[in-house]
């Protein structure tokens, strides 16, 4: 048994692009309007980030689906 409780978890980095894309298609279409298709989304989601701003851009997108409802 762990000594400490897990207070929160982050979805970013632990979900494959296809699963996240399907979720957005079904429940949050506004989140993917910037991408013409899945290929563009996958390229954005999997590209290497070299700055904090680039990382936060992805982080913001992924974290937007972590709500009480989901």
Most confident among 8-22, 33-47, 54-68 (mean pLDDT): 33-47
Angstrom distances, CA of residue 35 to CA of 3, 21, 41, 46, 49 = 43, 10, 6, 14, 18
Global pTM value:
0.71
Q: What is the pLDDT of residue 11?
A: 60
More confident residue, 37 or 12: 37
Q: Counting beta carbons within 10 angstroms of the beta carbon of residue 14, is it exposed (0 to 12), middle (13 to 18) or buried (19 or more)? A: exposed
E-strand stretches of 1-70: none
């Amino acid at each position: 048994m762990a000594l400490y409780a897990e207070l929160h978890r982050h979805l970013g980095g632990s979900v494959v692009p296809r699963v996240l894309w399907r979720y957005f298609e079904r429940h949050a279409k506004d989140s993917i309007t910037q991408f013409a298709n899945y290929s563009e989304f996958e390229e954005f989601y999997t590209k290497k980030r070299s700055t904090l701003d680039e990382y936060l851009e992805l982080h913001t997108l992924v974290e937007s689906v972590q709500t009480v409802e989901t």
